[in-house]
Structure 1
Amino acid sequence: MAARSAAFLGSSPVAPSVTQVAGAMVPSSRLLSVQVQSVHHHFQAYFQALDGAATQDVSQILCPSWRNAVERPFLWFGDLHPSIFVNLLRSFLLRSHGQGGGSAAPGDISPPFADAWKDPSPRLTAEIREIECRLRRRVPQIVQLHRRVQASFTERAASEFKEHGEVSEEAAAAMTAELAGLFFQANRLRKSVLEDILEVLDVCQAAAFLEALCQLVLRLREEKLLLQFHSCRAPLPSSAW
């Protein structure tokens, strides 16, 4: 299941959808709306696939050996941190106000979508701020729950090891169940943040945002970028050992 999840966003549905969204703008706004919904559905299906994998074995999601070294810094409870969605959205607003050193949209967003972010309304700016505030409240709550789970398991494991010389399967199973619950909460947050963002955008803004998000996901898995990453890593000094 983890292998299928790993390949899901790198498989054919994403790349064609990005191309179709970019090409649909000119001939038909209705077609564009359909393509936006299609890409959104693809992400939702991916999140559901992660839920399924976590149900079977949450360790393969929280400790993903199938993620590459470029992806891992962006992960939070098994997948992209939801703040990445908001930060990506915020980048469009910054450019629309002449900040960030760019034009109205990131440089490699399809030209038909550039005008969608030239003059965002005050209402949109306020709604994006509300999404950010909700995210800032929710993320620390999940992190705090995670710390409590870790502390509880550590205390129980230490007590059992002191008394019996080993940690019981029941303790490990309880820990696994708690971690799975935390993952499901984090994944629901990812889903809801993406949904909230798309609800406040018009179809052209949503197309630009989703195209940028797809490009980000695909580039994190580019072989060329991964090779560059590995070639730039400096060796640890011998004194560190």
Structure 2
Amino acid sequence: MMKALINRLKSCRPFKEFYADWINTLKSSLLPLLSRSLSSPSPDPLLLATQVELLHSHFNSYFAALDLASNDDVSQLLFPDWRNPLEKPFLWFGDFHPYIFINLLRSFLEEDDDDSDETDNGFLVKPWNVWKNVDVSLGHFVEQVECGLRLMVPSVVARSRDTQADLVEKLGVGWRKNGENFEVDEVVGELVDKMTCVFLDANRLRRSVLADIMGTLNVYQAASFLEGLAKFYAGFWDPTLLANFKNPVD
């Protein structure tokens, strides 16, 4: 019901077109460049810094586009029928949950110390490991972010739940009092405004967590983290993975 009501006021500017271009740039250009630099025995820190900035800016442009799209038509983000079935279980108010960002960082910190000794045809996969012997403050940072998310995420969810409950109450009262003459557009307009605000705050939280992470890591760690995050986003659109999901092999 909520999707149908919001759709009453939606426009016709599809965010999915931007997203397709954004993912394509990520997969075909920015991610391969960064991965090649990280595969070097001695990555150039200046080159890495440039590529990190480009990739971080690419994510920021995505979050900014989400904000603009929500003000134009929040329904296409909250009820994204254009998302593929692999992405949908991970979505939280229009995009991936901010927990994913901090969990990815934690996964790097918890890697086994011998990971850097893995070989491929006799060659060291990564002759350097930026996550070995990291400062203890980085672990404390992860805990602080997780603590903040445990406070803020339920608050955003509660606002969305309260908005939906308020909608149902107003619709019920309106129909009881006015019957078929009840005009729902004003109520729907209030719903759209409130859900847009909820979405913007959720998106602000994603952007903030990523910015905090990037501001804490050194250039090598930031490059490694962004490579992992980019692979996570791009991986959901891998043709082979999608084909196997839609047509599982017995």
TM-score (norm 2): 0.84
Deviation at 1:163, TM superposition (A): 1.7
Provide the C-alpha distance between the structure 1 equivalents of 2:165 and 2:220, rounded to a whole number of angstroms. 47
Aligned with 1:77 (options 78, 93, 108): 93
- Residue 4 of structure 1 corresponds to 17
- Residue 32 of structure 2 corresponds to 19
- Residue 241 of structure 2 corresponds to 225
Contact 2:167–2:191 (8 Å) recurs in 1? yes
Q: Name the SS for the 1:155 alignment partner.
A: helix
Deviation at 1:15, TM superposition (A): 3.4
How many residues are matched? 229
The question of 1:140 aligning with 2:154 is answered yes
Deviation at 1:96, TM superposition (A): 4.2
Aligned with 1:119 (options 133, 150, 154): 133
Q: Name the SS for the 1:116 alignment partner.
A: coil
Q: What pairs with 1:67-216 in structure 2 (closer than 5 Å)?
A: 67-96=83-112, 103=115, 111-112=125-126, 115-165=129-179, 166=182, 168-216=184-232
1:79-136 CA-to-partner distances (Å, cap 9, x unmatched) read 01111111111111111467xxxx26999xx945850012222111111111111111
Q: Which runs of 5+ in 2 are unaligned?
A: 1-13
- Sequence identity, in percent? 36
Q: Please, what is the CA RMSD of the aligned residues?
A: 2.5
The one-letter code of the counterpart of 2:61 is: A
- Residue 50 of structure 1 corresponds to 66
Q: Identify if the C-alpha distance between structure 1 residues 23 and 231 changes in structure 2 by more than 3 Å, giving closer, same or farther.
A: closer
Contact 1:93–1:117 (8 Å) recurs in 2? yes
Task: Show structure 1 runs of 4+ deviating over 6 A.
Answer: none
Provide the C-alpha distance between the structure 2 equivalents of 1:84 and 1:67, rounded to a whole number of angstroms. 18
The one-letter code of the counterpart of 1:127 is: F
Q: Name the SS for the 2:84 alignment partner.
A: coil
Provide the C-alpha distance between the structure 2 equivalents of 1:163 and 1:219, rounded to a whole number of angstroms. 52
Aligned with 1:36 (options 20, 33, 52): 52
Provide the C-alpha distance between the structure 2 equivalents of 1:90 and 1:114, rounded to a whole number of angstroms. 19
1:155-176 CA-to-partner distances (Å, cap 9, x unmatched) read 0011111222245210011001
1:206-240 CA-to-partner distances (Å, cap 9, x unmatched) read 11110011111111111221221122499xxxxxx
Q: Name the SS for the 1:221 alignment partner.
A: coil
- Residue 238 of structure 1 corresponds to none
Q: Identify if the C-alpha distance between structure 1 residues 143 and 183 changes in structure 2 by more than 3 Å, giving closer, same or farther.
A: same
Provide the C-alpha distance between the structure 1 equivalents of 2:36 and 2:149, rounded to a whole number of angstroms. 33
